[in-house]
Amino acid sequence: MRLPVWINPRNWRRKKPPVPFSVLFKKFKSILERNNAILELIADMGDKLGGDYIYDRQYILSSCEKLGDQVFKLVSDLSFLCQRKNVALFNAFEGIQHRIAEELAGRRTLSRTDHILPLAELTHDLADEGGNKMASLGDIRNILGFAVPEGFVITAGAYFEAMEQAGLRRLAAETTRRLCADGGQDLAEESRRLRQAILAMPLPKGLVRAVEQAAKQLSGNGRELLAVRSSAWGEDGESSFAGMYESVLGVAAGDILDAYRQVLASLFCEQALRYRLHHDQCAEEPAMAVGVMPMVAAAVSGGLYTYAPLGEQDQAMVVSAAWGLGKPIVDGTAETDTFLLSREPPHKLLSADISCKSTQLSLDPQGGTRTLEVTGPARDASCLSDEQLARLARTAMNLERFFKRPLDVEWAITSQGDLLLLQARPLSIRPRACALAPDAAEAAREAPVLLSGKGITAMGGVASGPVQLVGEGEDLSDFPYGAILVSRHSSPRFAKVMPKCRGIITDVGSATGHMATIARELRVPTLVGAGPATRTLRQGQEITLDADHVVVYEGLVEALCRNELVREDVFEESWEYRTLKRVLRHVSPLTLLDPQSEAFRPENCKTFHDIARYVHQRAVDKLIGLAETHQEITQGAPRKLDTRLPLGLTVIDVEGGLDPAAGPGIEEKDIRCRPLKTILDGMTMTGMWETAPVGVDMGSFMSSLTRTFGADMAHPARLGRNLAVISKEYLNLHLRLGYHFTVVDAYLGGSINDNVIFFRFMGGVTDLTRRSRRASLVAAVLEQFDFVVEIKGDMVTGRVKKHPTRAMLDKMFMLGGLIGYTRQLDARLDSDEAGQRHLETFFNRLAAVKETRE
């Protein structure tokens, strides 16, 4: 039933007096200011991870408090601007805030509650659930596509559930704190007591079912033996815990639960407790995830260091290999062949030391492993062929490029010749000196310089590789591994390829922008605002980027890269570093990349950076909508602007856009709004505004009269007047010049992150062909000035943002000229050649005026 007008609740809401546009505009400015403050806080916290600053626990706590306060107020500001409470966004904020609080308290929050995670689903994003070791294997398998044995992980959540049910979680925490307080007295006895309790504890029934079912499936109903491997928090991470935790090999599926308890108990072995004590990790609750994989019947196994310094100038990788399984190699008990290979393709063999290999470790069909005697020529033969060595080297360097640090890699080759990767952990290398090595400094002085002092360091470091030029909106799916991304603009969409690229250089960008934040989080050497980079660097050109010193060298500067590679960050072992790094996982990553995507929703905000991005985008969208529909603007008491051109322009000043002393009738000299003043200057530049009448064929004219001007062309309230809503930094301009409609929405403030211009042009009195030619001309001009352009029929939409204010004012000046020049141009575009001719004319006239302005 239709309700009477006077009792319909929707009509009650309509009667509520609208909030003045000036008040809403102030709230919009508040959003911009908070957004900048948030990005600066995130940038500052990210910079601290670089190792160039000293910070303490209080810095982390106060930064998190400031950040949470600013983000909450940002969400509140958006609710006020939109005049509705965004419950989903507030819920997202509270969830992120809770996870950060848990991190600061030493308790990690797990995003998955599964007992079991297949290796096929595991990446570094689930490192808390699967542990560092298995998460790295997941990256190698699922991102890089290298061969890794199938398997699954019994998660850290399963460990907590088992310890909680057995009443051991609190005991473990209290024991660890006590050992920390008394300096490790009675450590051996406490370790023995904890391990015995874990070995005897019953496991939750749901966990037992999940593990037994997964083990049965993985082993082919018990036909294959399994490896049960530790994957604890921190293992193979900043603190390696290498060799301290237990892994059980050759396990039958029916014995999987006993092996699982054995690995869990090793979390509290003496050496691990002492390691945590020494590395100030007593306040952090440990956890053990456990990887389960089928045993590999390896013909050859070994380890590989991707970097092994050999004196002042040379560098190599070192490969150790032996027959059979690799455990004796890792333990240091095997007789191994040792190979030194060049790190540079084609990875020349530098030396080979072939040992006498009398024994090998092999699988025992009855379960476990056994040591066998090596007989015949195999005792003194090389374990690896030249082809196998080259393949190992290529694979290892791909891994190093992905993880962006030297690695210790464990591998196996089957009797069929298949290479399987079993583990990859960071390789700790101590530099000979803290300062830049003499050979690196000399190499930098002698290397040809392509760019110097151009740009701002967003993330320091040194990187080398071929240039990969990336255009606006270009598909990144085929971005090559190991390249240096060079682009005109910075963009958060580059996050997709940051694991692939060695470095980033952009002509335009901000050190506190979205992309820079992600680059710091992923530790990709990055220069932004590097000016002529895309014009100076060539596609495929080999370069070396020194982001620390803002220099780009031609070719590979080996000594400089080597100096960067061996630089060890001892501070990474501190509580402050580990805590800040974990906190930043909930702060700096950006997952909301595309505002046009269905996924661009508040429910999908996973970090504070996501929230800032979402709010900024929605605030800009809302302001444009308000400028078109707000009652204060459409029905307000505006002032007429007397200009040099017949614009009939009406102005509404919301904040500081006009001289306070100006009267009801205003002139150009009264304008304080820089965007409006600049665009008017552009319209009146020499040769842009034609006053001579233009001939139009009657067919085109009659066709234009029958077209319906929809709401997307101009707001109904605007069809009779041209309107500018202004402040000192803001302009929303609606122009109807004859049958042509133009919208300009621009904010040019003091921060590069806030600067944005939106431009829309459509209409005309001629046929669609001529109007489309003019649309193509307008689009070509906009693209030349860095706009992201979209054409639909005769409508052209362009957007540009995050350029310095001076450059943005130049673009506004150009837009003024473009509006004037194209006002009646469609009538003259009777051929494609005419379109090209007028395009050249426009650029020539603009260049001539630019010379006189400069």
Domain boundaries, the chain: 19-103+587-622, 116-293, 298-414, 438-567, 639-853
Residue 6 pLDDT level (bands cut at 50, 70, 90) = very low
Q: Alpha-carbon distance 802 to 805, whole Å?
A: 9
pLDDT at position 272, please?
78
When pLDDT is averaged across residues 320-349 and rounded to a whole number, the result is 83
Contact between 492 and 516 (Cβ < 8 Å): no
**Which residue has 């200057």 as its token pair?**
681
| pLDDT above 70 coverage of the chain, percent | 83
More confident residue, 741 or 7: 741
User: Does the pLDDT value for residue 17 go beyond 90?
Assistant: no
pLDDT at position 810, please?
93
Q: How many residues would you count in the chain?
A: 854
Q: Residues 6 or more apart from 536 whose CB is under 8 A from it?
A: 450, 451
- Range list of H helices, 666-789: 674-683, 698-706, 768-784
206 three-state secondary structure: helix
Q: Alpha-carbon distance 582 to 784, whole Å?
A: 42
pLDDT at position 281, please?
64
When pLDDT is averaged across residues 569-578 and rounded to a whole number, the result is 66
Helix 156-165 and helix 169-181: axis angle, to 10°? 100
pLDDT at position 362, please?
85
pLDDT at position 848, please?
83
When pLDDT is averaged across residues 433-462 and rounded to a whole number, the result is 79
pLDDT at position 437, please?
64
When pLDDT is averaged across residues 293-315 and rounded to a whole number, the result is 77
Cβ atoms within 10 Å of 416's Cβ, excluding its own: 7
Residue 237 pLDDT level (bands cut at 50, 70, 90) = low
Q: Residues 6 or more apart from 570 whose CB is under 8 A from it?
A: none
pLDDT at position 385, please?
94
What is the sign of the dihedral through the CA atoms of 219, 235, 585 and 485? negative
Tokens describing residue 505? 């250089």
Q: Residues 6 or more apart from 226 whose CB is under 8 A from it?
A: 215, 218, 219, 250, 251, 252, 253, 256, 259, 292, 293, 294, 295
Task: Select 298-414's CATH number: 3.40.190.10, 3.30.230.70, 3.30.470.20, 3.40.50.2300.
Answer: 3.30.470.20
Query: In the chain, what's the furthest Cα-to-Cα distance?
Result: 105
**Which residue has 């007992």 as its token pair?**
115
Residue 436 pLDDT level (bands cut at 50, 70, 90) = low
Q: Alpha-carbon distance 391 to 410, whole Å?
A: 14
Q: Which helix (H) or strand (E) holds 226?
A: strand 226-232
1 three-state secondary structure: coil
- CATH code given to domain 438-567: 3.50.30.10
More confident residue, 154 or 454: 154
When pLDDT is averaged across residues 572-588 and rounded to a whole number, the result is 81
β-strands 639-642, 665-667 pairing: parallel
pLDDT at position 479, please?
92
When pLDDT is averaged across residues 635-661 and rounded to a whole number, the result is 80
Q: Alpha-carbon distance 399 to 409, whole Å?
A: 9
Residue 566 pLDDT level (bands cut at 50, 70, 90) = low
570 vs 12, 428, 520, CA distance in Å? Answer: 65, 10, 18
**Which residue has 């007008």 as its token pair?**
5
**Which residue has 């050649």 as its token pair?**
833
**Which residue has 């959003």 as its token pair?**
31
Backbone angles phi, psi at 176, to 5 degrees: -65, -45
| pLDDT above 90 coverage of the chain, percent | 35
Q: Alpha-carbon distance 389 to 411, whole Å?
A: 12
Tokens describing residue 379? 């005792």
More confident residue, 390 or 794: 390
Q: Give per-residue pLDDT as tens, 242-265.
A: 557 888 988 999 999 999 999 999
Q: Alpha-carbon distance 401 to 524, whole Å?
A: 11
Q: Alpha-carbon distance 83 to 630, whole Å?
A: 13
Query: Which of 304, 298, 356 is closest to 324 using CA atoms?
Result: 298
The secondary structure of residue 303, as a DSSP letter, is: E
Q: Alpha-carbon distance 558 to 287, whole Å?
A: 41
pLDDT at position 601, please?
92
Instruction: Write out the CATH class of domain 116-293.
Output: alpha beta
Q: Residues 6 or more apart from 496 whose CB is under 8 A from it?
A: 476, 593
User: Does the pLDDT value for residue 573 go beyond 70?
Assistant: no
User: Does the pLDDT value for residue 545 go beyond 90?
Assistant: yes
Q: Residues 6 or more apart from 743 whose CB is under 8 A from it?
A: 732, 733, 734, 735, 758, 759, 760
User: Does the pLDDT value for residue 412 go beyond 90?
Assistant: yes
The secondary structure of residue 444, as a DSSP letter, is: H
Q: Give per-residue pLDDT as tens, 117-131.
A: 999 999 888 888 999
Tokens describing residue 170? 């609190």
Contact between 351 and 389 (Cβ < 8 Å): no
When pLDDT is averaged across residues 456-475 and rounded to a whole number, the result is 89
Q: What string of H, E and C letters represents the secondary structure of 378-390? A: HHCCCCCCHHHHH
Rounded to the nearest integer, the mean pLDDT of the chain is: 82
Residue 433 pLDDT level (bands cut at 50, 70, 90) = very low
> What is the b/e burial string over 553-565, where b = at least 16 CB atoms within 10 angstroms of the residue's CB?
beeebbbbbbbbb
pLDDT at position 607, please?
93
When pLDDT is averaged across residues 398-426 and rounded to a whole number, the result is 90
- Range list of H helices, 114-249: 127-142, 156-165, 169-181, 187-200, 205-218
Q: Alpha-carbon distance 435 to 447, whole Å?
A: 19
